[in-house]
Structure 1
Amino acid sequence: MTEDLLKSFQQAYRNLELLPLIEENDLRRFRVEYGEDTIDELIQLIEDSPNSDGKVVFTGHRGCGKSTLLAEFSRRIEDKYFVVLFSIADTIEMSDVNHINVLFSIAVNLMLEAEARQIDIPASTKNAIDKWFATRVRTEETNIEREASKDFNILKFFSVKLKVDSKIRYELKQEFERKISELIAQLNIIAAAIQAVTKKQILVILDDLDKLDLAVVNHLFKDNIKALCLPGFRIIYTIPIAALREKDLKPTIENETNDQVVAMPVLKLFKKGESHLPNARPFPKTLNILCEILTKRISPNLLKSSTAEKIVLNSGGVLRELIRISNECCRICLRLIRRKPEDKVIINDEILDQAINNIRNDFAMPLGSVDYRILQTTYNNFKPEDPKQQEFLDLLHGLYVLEYRNRQNWYDVHPIIVELLREEGLIDDSQ
């Protein structure tokens, strides 16, 4: 019995990895329908754009389900477009992302996808493209590797080196910093070659830019958005929700993309202000969606239904937080099973309280007095004093503050953070 229980929780723990649903098998097992309006908006912008080179910026809180939704979106339109979906986090060292290696990574991934699908690009064109890649860097290491193996693949070389080799990234920056037009021209040659064979227009979806630090995002999009918009094919870029609150960045992005900005909202559990009231009842539809996500990943005999609802409420409607809380609960249960094999272990309110405390402590560590004042103001007024203040943007980026959308946007403090405010005497529940 203990061994069966252990295996059941181990399976639930594996099901609760903080990863997007990209693979077909994962989508089949865990996908719950949500975000249909957002998918419809993306399809409309891509299919109805008067130009074949339109750029779309896709934003939302980290962990709100953007990557899973983009994977589903790409599946729905792959019959009409040659879709290349890849993560910048898998391609480039995140602390060293710039517009040059972003564009170069698009070139590499376009060709890798063409190879994977066995697109029969004419040999002369393919050889010319490979030669262009091979002459972009001139490190001795490159020459050694190319000569050492007959099967050397320059595309796979770059797909690895962009991630791990700072020297390669530096060489690319030096190579193209003053001749970005050459890089764009080569991107367009690659896209045209693929399009000529497939008879499909190109769509590149560049995910996980929203996971970059705000300073990197600011430099990437504010200073170099014109370069990112130059390729002659459709591209969807992701950015963090906090970046669109930067006073100089938002108008720049809207202007350069012709206002093609799509925001994926957090799943809203309450009307504005109702979550602060005792015995408040959440929207049944949202509650059911989030509970369904849990039941697809955790066997019902491992989780009390009333506790499942409390997990949902503590997530604030953010999918990442729903999974993170549940994952922490499973970790606690797995330790208990090994420590007390004779006990019947289930995720109940006591286990949830332990998980919440652990996550709250993680949240609390970086907070200072300025942060607490901003959180207090946001909790009381559903907005900060200054939504452009960098400390507020950092709190928004870190999920301490959540943005919700009605006719007007409003903000609330992450439910797990509310108890921290109470402990600091910053919330008066008697009012």
Structure 2
Amino acid sequence: MSDELLKSFQQAYRNLELLPLIQPNDLDRFRVNYGDEVIEELEQLVEDSPNGDGKIIFTGHRGCGKSTLLAEFSRRSQNRYFVVLFSISDTIEMSDVNHINILFAIAVNLMYEAEARRVEIPKSTKDALYKWFASRTKTEEINIEAETSLGFDLLKLISNKLKADAAVRYEIKQEFERKISDLIARINEIAAVIHVATRKDVLVIIDDLDKLELERVNDIYRDNIKALCQPNFRIIYTIPIAVLRDKFLRPLIETETNDQVVVMPVLKLFEQGQSRQVNAKPRLQAKDILCEILQKRIASELIEQQAAENIVLNSGGVLRELVRIANECCRICLRLIRRKPGQAVVIDEQILDEAVNNIRNDFAVPLGKVDYAILQTTYQNFMPDDPKEPEFLDLLHGLYVLEYRNRKNWYDVHPIVVELLREQGLINGS
């Protein structure tokens, strides 16, 4: 019995990895019908781009399901477009991302996808592009005249260098800093030969830019948004939701993208203020979606129904937090099974309490006096004193504060963080 139970929880634990659903198999197994309106909004902006080169900014809370939704949107768009979806975190060291290596990464990934799909680009054109890549990344040692596998070999080597070699990233930045137009011209050339060969418009989707530190995002967009918008094809960029509260960056981004900003909202479990009421009932549609996500990942015999519903409530409507809490519950159960072989183990209220307490302790570590004051005000007023204050933006970026959308936006404190405010004597209630 304990071996079967162990294997069941191990499977649930694997199902609850804190990773987006990117692969088609994972999408088929775990995705629920969520975010279709956002997909429709992205589709409209892509389809109706006046010049076929629209730039779209996609944002939302970390962990709200953006990556999974972009993967689904990419899959739905394959027949109409030559879609290139890649994660910036898989391509470049996140602490060293800048506008130049973002553009260079677009070029590399365009060519990589063209190779992967056996796009029939004339050999002379292809060789010229590879020589350009090789010279810019100091990889001339590869024989450019080698067999067709060269493309993958060279692009893989370049990708590895972009990710691991700071010297290569520095050289690329030095070369193109004063002649960014040369890099953009090369990107446009690659997109053009792909378009001719496939008879499809190019659509590039860059994920995980929203996971950058806010200071890094500011450096990238403040002075370089024009360069990022120059390629002659459609691009979807992701940004942290906190950027939309920046009084300088937001209007700049809106201007350069023709106000093509799409926000993926957090699932709203309660209308404003309702969660504070005794015996408050969550919105049924939102609760059912989150419960379905759990059901697809955890076998019903491993979790009590009340515990599942309380995991949903503690998530605040953020998909990542839902998975994170359930993942922590599985970790506790796996330890219990090994500690007490033969004993029945199930995710119940006691297990959930321990998991939530562990996560709450993680939340508590970085908080200081100023943070608690902002959280207290936000809890009481559903709005901070200053939503553009850097400390508030950091709390928003770190999921301490969640943004909800009605006709008017409002904020609330993450349900797990609320208990920290009670412990500090900053709010009343049990």
Deviation at 1:154?
Answer: 2.4
Q: How high is the sequence identity, in percent, across the aligned residues?
A: 70
Report the 3-state secondary structure (helix = DSSP H, G, I; strand = E; otherwise coil) of the residue aligned with 1:335.
helix
Give me the whole-angstrom Cα distance separating, in 2, the residues matched to 1:23 and 1:137.
30
Give me the whole-angstrom Cα distance separating, in 1, the residues matched to 2:241 and 2:116.
33
| Structure 1 stretch displaced more, 261-270 or 45-54 | 45-54
In the TM superposition, what whole-angstrom CA distance separates every residue of 1:70-110 from its partner, at most 9, and x where no partner exists? 01111111111000000000000000000000000000000
User: Which residue of structure 1 aligns with residue 25 of structure 2?
Assistant: 25
Is 2:212 the counterpart of 1:219?
Answer: no
**Letter aligned with residue 170 of structure 1:** Y
**Letter aligned with residue 182 of structure 1:** D
Give me the whole-angstrom Cα distance separating, in 2, the residues matched to 1:143 and 1:83.
29
Give me the whole-angstrom Cα distance separating, in 1, the residues matched to 2:207 and 2:75.
15
Is 2:341 the counterpart of 1:341?
Answer: yes
User: Which residue of structure 1 aligns with residue 421 of structure 2?
Assistant: 421
Give me the whole-angstrom Cα distance separating, in 1, the residues matched to 2:363 and 2:19.
20
Deviation at 1:118?
Answer: 0.5
Task: Answer whether contact 2:137 2:158 (CA < 8 A) is retained.
Answer: no
**Letter aligned with residue 27 of structure 1:** L
Deviation at 1:51?
Answer: 1.3
Report the 3-state secondary structure (helix = DSSP H, G, I; strand = E; otherwise coil) of the residue aligned with 2:136.
coil
Deviation at 1:137?
Answer: 3.2
Deviation at 1:429?
Answer: 2.8
TM-score calculated relative to the size of structure 1 = 0.97
User: Which residue of structure 1 aligns with residue 59 of structure 2?
Assistant: 59
User: Which residue of structure 1 aligns with residue 207 of structure 2?
Assistant: 207
**Letter aligned with residue 289 of structure 1:** I
Deviation at 1:342?
Answer: 2.5
Deviation at 1:143?
Answer: 4.2
In the TM superposition, what whole-angstrom CA distance separates every residue of 1:43-85 from its partner, at most 9, and x where no partner exists? 0000011111110000000000000000111111111100000
User: Which residue of structure 2 aligns with residue 310 of structure 1?
Assistant: 310
Coordinate RMSD, CA, aligned: 1.2
Deviation at 1:277?
Answer: 1.6
**Letter aligned with residue 75 of structure 1:** R
**Letter aligned with residue 405 of structure 2:** R
User: Which residue of structure 2 aligns with residue 161 of structure 1?
Assistant: 161
Gaps of 5+ in 1: none
Deviation at 1:343?
Answer: 1.3
Task: Answer whether contact 2:307 2:348 (CA < 8 A) is retained.
Answer: yes
User: Which residue of structure 2 aligns with residue 359 of structure 1?
Assistant: 359
Give me the whole-angstrom Cα distance separating, in 1, the residues matched to 2:143 and 2:168.
15
User: Which residue of structure 2 aligns with residue 375 of structure 1?
Assistant: 375
Report the 3-state secondary structure (helix = DSSP H, G, I; strand = E; otherwise coil) of the residue aligned with 1:135.
helix
Give me the whole-angstrom Cα distance separating, in 1, the residues matched to 2:333 and 2:137.
52
User: Which residue of structure 2 aligns with residue 324 of structure 1?
Assistant: 324
Task: Answer whether contact 2:242 2:396 (CA < 8 A) is retained.
Answer: yes
TM-score calculated relative to the size of structure 2 = 0.97
User: Which residue of structure 2 aligns with residue 240 of structure 1?
Assistant: 240
Give me the whole-angstrom Cα distance separating, in 2, the residues matched to 1:144 and 1:201.
34
Give me the whole-angstrom Cα distance separating, in 2, the residues matched to 1:391 and 1:168.
35
In the TM superposition, what whole-angstrom CA distance separates every residue of 1:317-340 from its partner, at most 9, and x where no partner exists? 000000000000000000000001
Give me the whole-angstrom Cα distance separating, in 2, the residues matched to 1:57 and 1:16.
28
Deviation at 1:159?
Answer: 0.9
Give me the whole-angstrom Cα distance separating, in 2, the residues matched to 1:143 and 1:2.
58
The within-5 A match list for 1:8-407 is 8-138=8-138, 142-144=139-141, 153-407=153-407
Report the 3-state secondary structure (helix = DSSP H, G, I; strand = E; otherwise coil) of the residue aligned with 1:53.
coil
Task: Answer whether contact 2:314 2:415 (CA < 8 A) is retained.
Answer: yes
Give me the whole-angstrom Cα distance separating, in 1, the residues matched to 2:66 and 2:140.
40
**Letter aligned with residue 223 of structure 1:** D
Equivalent residue pairs, number: 426
Give me the whole-angstrom Cα distance separating, in 2, the residues matched to 1:77 and 1:108.
21
**Letter aligned with residue 16 of structure 1:** L
Give me the whole-angstrom Cα distance separating, in 2, the residues matched to 1:415 and 1:133.
49
Give me the whole-angstrom Cα distance separating, in 2, the residues matched to 1:359 and 1:297.
20
Deviation at 1:158?
Answer: 1.1
**Letter aligned with residue 3 of structure 2:** E
Gaps of 5+ in 2: none
**Letter aligned with residue 114 of structure 1:** A
